[in-house]
Structure 1
Amino acid sequence: MNKEEILNIIKTKLSERIQKFENLIAETRAANNETKSSMGDKYETSREMVQQEINNLQRQLNETLNQQVLVQKISPEKSSKVQNGALVKTDKGLFYIAASIGEIVFENQKVMTVSVESPLVKAMFGKKIAEKFMINNNHQTIENIW
């Protein structure tokens, strides 16, 4: 498994997400400026809803920027135990501990990217090859760590 290539895919996906949120915020602000009307309360309600949407997008953008900062600090070197930056194969799947961006396909294998804050990672954190852990009443065994 080439951890460095997977890490680059994660970095690219995070950059794309950041760009998407920045574009959505800009478009929403532009639409808000075009909604000038003399409809009084109706206009104020509409403007408030748009502002809430901008706030929501800004929060998501900030979360993604924080993930990007954490991912930039990850080294692609081999890990001997489950930790941030480890690629972990269990009997249930393949997990890259970095940022929670969902599933990616690398070399025809599904890799689930998960945050160090996720319950799954908390259950397996610090474990080594052949050790077992349990999450949601499901037992898993760590088969390999890169």
Structure 2
Amino acid sequence: MNKREILDIIKTKISEKIQNFENLIAETRASSNDTKSSMGDKYETGREMLQQEINNLQRQLNETLNQQSIIQKINAEPSSKVQNGALVKTNKGLFYIAASLGEIVSEGQKIMTVSVESPLVKAMFGKEIEETFTINDIHQTIENIW
């Protein structure tokens, strides 16, 4: 498995998310400026709702920027145990430990990207090939680590 390619896919996906959030925030701010009217309370309620939306988008943007910061620190070197930046194959699937971005595809393989904070990673963290762990009454065996 090519960890460099996987890392590049993740970096691209995070950059796209950041750009998307920045665009949404800019568009929402622009529409906030367009809502001026003489309606009084309705105007203020509309502006407040737009401000709440901007705050929500800003929070999501900050989370994505934090993910980007974590990703920047990961290298593509091989791992011998489950740790941040490891690609782990269990009998249930393939997991890349970095940031939680959902499923990606590399070399025709579906890989689930998971955060080091996830319960799954906490259950397998520090383990090595052929060790087992259980989460939600599901037993998994680590078959390979890259």
- The TM-score, its normalising length taken from structure 2, stands at 0.99
**Structure 2 SS opposite 1:61:** helix
Paired residue for 2:121? 121
Q: Which amino acid aligns with 1:38?
A: S
CA displacement, residues 41-97 of structure 1 (integer Å, 9 cap, x when unaligned): 111111110000000000000000000000000010000000000000000000000
Runs (4+) off by over 4 Å = none
Paired residue for 2:71? 71
What does 1:77-92 align with in structure 2 at a 5 Å threshold?
Answer: 77-92=77-92
CA–CA distance in 1 between the matches of 2:126 and 2:52?
40
**Structure 2 SS opposite 1:129:** coil
Q: Which amino acid aligns with 2:99?
A: A
Paired residue for 2:33? 33
Q: Which amino acid aligns with 2:3?
A: K
- The TM-score, its normalising length taken from structure 1, stands at 0.99
Uncovered stretches (5+) of structure 1, i.e. residues with no partner: none
CA–CA distance in 2 between the matches of 1:43 and 1:144?
59
Paired residue for 2:45? 45
Q: Which amino acid aligns with 1:17?
A: K
Sequence identity of aligned pairs in percent? 82
Paired residue for 1:111? 111
- State the 1:107 CA deviation: 1.1
Q: Aligned pair count?
A: 146
**Structure 1 SS opposite 2:39:** coil
CA–CA distance in 1 between the matches of 2:94 and 2:129?
13
Uncovered stretches (5+) of structure 2, i.e. residues with no partner: none
Paired residue for 2:138? 138
Paired residue for 1:18? 18
Say whether residues 1:8 and 2:8 are aligned partners.
yes
What does 1:89-100 align with in structure 2 at a 5 Å threshold?
Answer: 89-100=89-100
Q: CA RMSD in A?
A: 0.4
**Structure 1 SS opposite 2:5:** helix
CA displacement, residues 7-28 of structure 1 (integer Å, 9 cap, x when unaligned): 0000000000000000000000
